[in-house]
């Protein structure tokens, strides 16, 4: 199972939201590049990078910073937030992003997702399902759809998706532990799952590994010191 530290960006700063609420932002660093380098120094190979400004506005807003992180670290960066066209995804893949994460566009324009999977393959194109109460959320988590996350997983697989990053919004940034039953329900749909939201302890990570997750994304727990990245990687 991959251990993937996370950086969320707002206005060039490293932040965390509480349960996806843009009005409840905690700033952890005004130098996200330094944070990324620290993760790399601790032994991380991967980085989950989300442009929260882009998620709201529909295109990547922290472009210069994203470019620096790609260019000045050897981390395999997966980028999400505001990538809503074939051209935007192509640009970032051409610039060296290891994987792009498609969330809102995979709901509103599934043909874009299909085209990207056809051209770049399922290793490069990852679907992001962000869910509240099991229902898919889009547009920076501001809009809750009538799509059930598990049902939507089956749909995405028909278009060639092999891996989904599943975020439980109610758990995200809350440090209250993971929602293991929901995560297991997603795994049962037959897709590879990287879990995000609520990872608070090494026990959470071990539970995700035992459940069959291919990856676990850690955010706030790293910034508060609840989880030590070196220890998590070792375990």
pLDDT at site 176: 81
Indicate the average pLDDT of the chain: 92
Whole-number Å distance between alpha carbons of 48 and 50: 7
Given CA atoms 39, 96, 164, 137 in this order, what sign does their dihedral have? positive
pLDDT at site 74: 98
Residue 165 has pLDDT above 80, yes or no: yes
CATH number of the 2-234 domain: 3.20.20.70
pLDDT at site 114: 95
Q: Which of 19-28, 93-102, 224-233 has the lowest mean pLDDT?
A: 19-28
Beta strands in 112-162 (DSSP E): 125-132, 135-138, 143-148
Structure token digits, residue 23: 């009005």
pLDDT tens for each residue of 22-62: 878 889 999 999 999 999 999 999 999 999 887 877 777 78
pLDDT at site 55: 80
Instruction: Give the pLDDT mean for 122-133.
Output: 94
The catalytic residue positions are 8, 130
* β-sheet bridge partners, residue 50: 8, 80
Give the phi and the psi of residue 79 in degrees, each rounded to 5: -115, 130
pLDDT at site 28: 92
- Residue 12's region, left for phi above 0, alpha for psi from -120 to 50, else beta, is left
pLDDT at site 23: 77
Residue 153 has pLDDT above 80, yes or no: yes
Per-residue pLDDT band for 233 (boundaries 50, 70, 90) equals very high
Residue 141 has pLDDT above 80, yes or no: no
- Residues 6 or more apart whose CB falls under 8 angstroms from that of 213 comprise 1, 183, 187, 193, 194, 195
Domain boundaries, the chain: 2-234
Could you tell me what percent of the chain has a pLDDT over 70? 99
pLDDT tens for each residue of 6-21: 999 999 999 988 776 7
Per-residue pLDDT band for 122 (boundaries 50, 70, 90) equals very high
Q: Give CA angle at 158 (155, 161), nearest 5°.
A: 90
Q: Is the distance from CB of 161 to CB of 125 less than 8 angstroms?
A: yes
* Alpha-carbon radius of gyration of the chain: 16
Whole-number Å distance between alpha carbons of 32 and 7: 7
Whole-number Å distance between alpha carbons of 231 and 202: 9
């Amino acid at each position: 199972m991959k251990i993937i530290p996370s950086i969320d960006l707002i206005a060039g700063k490293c932040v965390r939201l509480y349960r996806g609420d843009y009005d409840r932002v905690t700033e952890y660093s005004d130098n996200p590049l330094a944070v990324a380098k620290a993760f790399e120094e601790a032994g991380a190979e991967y980085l989950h990078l989300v442009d929260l400004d882009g998620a709201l506005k529909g295109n990547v807003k922290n472009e210069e910073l994203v470019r620096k992180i790609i260019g000045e670290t050897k981390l395999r960066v997966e980028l999400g937030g505001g990538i809503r066209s074939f051209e935007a995804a192509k640009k970032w893949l051409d610039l060296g992003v290891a994987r792009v994460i498609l969330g809102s566009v995979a709901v509103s324009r599934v043909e874009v997702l299909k085209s990207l999977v056809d051209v770049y393959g399922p290793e490069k194109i990852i679907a992001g399902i962000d869910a509240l109460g099991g229902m898919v959320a889009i547009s920076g988590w501001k809009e809750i759809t009538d799509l059930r996350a598990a049902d939507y997983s089956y749909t995405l697989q028909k278009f060639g998706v092999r891996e989904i990053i599943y975020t439980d919004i109610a758990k995200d940034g809350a440090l209250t532990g993971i929602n293991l039953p929901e995560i297991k329900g997603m795994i049962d749909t037959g897709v590879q799952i990287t879990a995000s939201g609520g990872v608070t302890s090494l026990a959470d990570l071990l539970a995700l590994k035992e459940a069959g997750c291919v990856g676990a994304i850690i955010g706030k727990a790293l910034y508060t010191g609840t989880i030590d990245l070196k220890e998590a990687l070792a375990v």
